[in-house]
Amino acid sequence: MPNVLIDVQGLSKHYPPNVKAVDDITFQIKAGRIFSMLGPNGAGKTTTVEILEGLRNPTSGKATIFDVDVTRDYSKLRDKVGILPQNFEPFDNLKPNEAVQYWAGLYDMKATASRVNSLLAQVGLSERKSVISRKLSGGEKRKLGIALSLINEPEVLFLDEPTTGLDPKARRDLWKLIEEIRAKGTTVFLTTHYLDEAEKLADDVAIMNKGKIVARGSPQELITKYGKMTVIVITGAGEEALKEIKRRGIEATVENGDVLVPVKDPVEMRVIFQKISGIELKAKDIYTRRQSLEDVFLNLVGAKMDEGVLSP
């Protein structure tokens, strides 16, 4: 079994008079894993990450990385930790190769040309290394941010919403990069609004809401534990059909005009199809899909996050 690398015990951060940004959370992260913290705006993700990065002091509780207390001895961790802050914008007036050199200087490291080149190649910016940073696209800026966070070859990498606001292609490029970083043995702490991202990348997930961890496990474990496994989707059937379906005692919801019927096993699926077979449905299509982490999230957090944020 891999070792516990990050250990968080009863951690809280309160802002007077009454904001409990982080409210007594406990979790552990094992070495070499991608751990994803999911949650809506204001859940307390960044606060948690920034405590672990030694940037904020907790009100109470304890957090250690490699058994080092992050509030007391952060200097001991500096060389082992990499950080990509939320909404990071690289230096507008530096080119990527200059930014990497400058950043290396902050770590008292010499960045030889070959080191700069290999770092930029790792994040897929080789061809853009001499372009002034303000002219980079959002995805390229994020890649440069990741290159900077990797300068000290960290053993733990904190990525606070690395893909927010990126187009699907840029997001997938970053997913690949994050997987490559993990493949080298780095432990990754990733916060995200994107449930598909956590499902794709994370070995362990913590769902956070209002300062508390409301669920914890692998994406599969969470889906099995909190979600029924399959949903029947009746596209375009609308509210009318929903009423008819519910009248037959079937649990269902409507989303964007589609009726969704959760099902736990094949026996229940047969029963449901029998019950709805008499209804005249104005459906464009009927199909089944596996529950996603998004469904679990909605069940747990109860409210939909900003439209368009949940799934791009």
Ligand X SMILES: Nc1ncnc2c1ncn2[C@@H]1O[C@H](COP(=O)(O)OP(=O)(O)OP(=O)(O)O)[C@@H](O)[C@H]1O
Q: Which residues bind Mg ion (CB under 5 A)?
A: 45-46, 86
Q: What mask of x and - would describe binding to ligand X in positions 15 to 54, judged by CB under 6 A?
A: x---x-x-----------------x-xxxxxxx-------
- The crossing angle, in degrees rounded to 10, of helices 138-149 and 113-122 is 130
- Asked if 86 touches ligand X (CB under 6 A), the answer is yes
Residue 51 binds: one of Mg ion, ligand X, none (C-beta under 5 to 8 A by kind): none
Per-residue CA distances from 27 to 6, 63, 163, 217, 264 (Å): 8, 10, 24, 11, 30
Query: Is 213 in a helix, a strand, or coil?
Result: strand
Does residue 17 have a cis peptide bond before it, meaning omega lies within 30 degrees of 0?
A: yes
Would you say 65 and 156 are in contact if contact means Cβ atoms under 8 Å apart?
Answer: yes
Q: Which of residues 97-136 bind ligand X (CB under 6 A)?
A: none
Structure tokens of 296? Answer: 């679990």
Residue 233 binding partner per list ligand X, Mg ion, none, with a CB distance cut-off of 5 to 8 Å that depends on partner kind:
none
Count of residues touching ligand X (by CB under 6 A): 12
CB-nearer residue toward ligand X: 14 or 80? 14
Stretch of 14-22, 77-85, 130-138, 246-254 contacting ligand X, by CB under 6 A: 14-22
Find which of ligand X, Mg ion, none residue 19 binds, CB within 5 to 8 Å per kind.
Answer: ligand X
Q: Which is nearer to Mg ion, 46 or 152 (CB)?
A: 46
Min separation Cβ 20 and ligand X, Å: 8
Question: What secondary structure does DSSP assign to 148-189, as a single string?
Answer: HHTTT--SEEEEESTTTT--HHHHHHHHHHHHHHHHTT-EEE
Query: Is the dihedral angle over the CA atoms 126, 132, 135, 139 positive or is it negative?
Result: positive
User: How would you classify the pairing of strands 204-209 and 68-69?
Assistant: unpaired
We find the least distance from the C-beta atom of residue 287 to Mg ion, in angstroms, to be 35
Cβ closer to ligand X: 279 or 309?
309
- Interacting positions 221-250 with ligand X (CB under 6 A): none
Residues lying near ligand X in the complex (CB under 6 A) are found at: 15, 19, 21, 39, 41-47, 86
